[in-house]
Amino acid sequence: MTENSGNTDNRWSFGRDIIVFQFKLLADGFRDMLLIPASLAAGLVGLLFYRDNPEQPFHTILGLGKQSEHWINLFGSLPRKQQLQASMSVTRAGNLDQVVGKLETMLREQYEKGGITAGAKNSIDKSIDALHRGIDKVGSREDQV
């Protein structure tokens, strides 16, 4: 096999990786477009109708999203060594969940001190309780009819 033949094979393999990645990006974007309204709807349904376990519908959507993430395997054409290096650098730098965790800790501390978030939390809790009472009234009316 000539040196030129190896370059041609590499070029075609690389071209395939580019095309596959574009299709994966499209699939990932389409999945995200579906997950946005589905997760919001599941969260709302959970808050309104699943009093004992309001996170259940939302976590179901998260599970479906995780399955689709594995199926799409967006960065699967990255050589294994580079995948490991990228994974290790993310671990050192942290990720969005860690940033959110730090923000949550800060807000929780403010809440415990009785800061502005305590009032906001109480307002949200009151609003959700009022929605539940309204749903109960509608449900009891329907039972009477």
pLDDT (tens place) for every residue of the chain, 145 residues total = 555 666 777 888 888 888 989 999 999 999 999 999 999 999 999 999 999 999 999 999 999 999 999 898 888 877 666 655 656 555 555 655 666 677 677 777 777 777 666 667 777 777 777 767 766 665 565 555 5
Longest dimension (CA), the chain: 86
The pTM assigned to this predicted structure is 0.58
Mark whether 84 and 101 lie in a shared domain.
no
Mark whether 60 and 106 lie in a shared domain.
no
Look at residues 52, 77, 93 and tell me which one is the last residue of a structural domain: 93
Mark whether 84 and 39 lie in a shared domain.
yes
Reported as a single tens digit per residue, the pLDDT across 35-47 is 999 999 999 999 9
Mark whether 88 and 110 lie in a shared domain.
no
Q: What is the 3-state secondary structure (H, E, C) of the chain?
A: CCHHHHHHHHHHHHHHHHHHHHHHHHHHHHHHHHHHHHHHHHHHHHHHHCCCCCCHHHHHHHHHHHHHHHHHCCCCCCCHHHHHHHHHHHHHHCCHHHHHHHHHHHHHHHHHCCCHHHHHHHHHHHHHHHHHHHHHHHHHHHHHC
Mark whether 32 and 100 lie in a shared domain.
no
Number of domains in the chain: 2
Reported as a single tens digit per residue, the pLDDT across 125-141 is 777 777 677 666 655 65
Report yes or no: 74 and 80 within 8 Å, Cβ to Cβ.
Answer: no
Report yes or no: 48 and 135 within 8 Å, Cβ to Cβ.
Answer: yes
CA–CA dist 42, 34 (Å, integer)? 12
Mark whether 53 and 4 lie in a shared domain.
yes
Mark whether 104 and 89 lie in a shared domain.
no
What does the block give as tokens for 93?
């730098």
pLDDT at 143: 56
Domain encompassing residue 144: 95-145
Look at residues 73, 93, 113 and tell me which one is the last residue of a structural domain: 93
Mark whether 84 and 125 lie in a shared domain.
no
CA–CA dist 101, 117 (Å, integer)? 16
Mark whether 79 and 105 lie in a shared domain.
no
